[in-house]
Amino acid sequence: MSESSAGGMTLGALQRRIASLYGAKDAARGDAATFLWLTAEFGELAEALRSGSDDDLALEMADVLAWLATLANLRGIDLDAAVRRKYGQGCPGCGDDPCRCDPSEKP
């Protein structure tokens, strides 16, 4: 049974899936052009937030995540490990769970 059919997909599984689907194209495009595609997807996400349906919003969120996974693949970054390292022990700012940072500050 695949990770996705088991009820979810980990970040690692997403990265592997994206590499399997698009790895050669992504490598040919490179990280600079991939970053431009990622920023374009943020624009589409903004539009879906403003005037899209919940389904549109979900699909645009998936696109942003997929392009981020692509960029991570190109740069050799393990997103799962990075997220665990930064957020696995609580808020990166105050260390608490839930966060107790001043709401006006970015943790």
Give how far the C-alpha of residue 61 lies from the chain's centroid of Cα atoms, to the nearest Å: 8
pLDDT over 70 at 6, yes or no: no
Span 56-78, pLDDT tens digits:
999 999 999 999 999 999 999 99
0.85 surpassed by pTM? yes
| Residue 2 in this model has a pLDDT that exceeds 60 | no
107 in Cβ contact with 89 (< 8 Å):
no
Phi, psi for 104 (deg, rounded to 5): -80, -5
Domains in the chain (CATH in brackets) are: 11-76 (1.10.287.1080)
Greatest CA separation found in the chain? 45
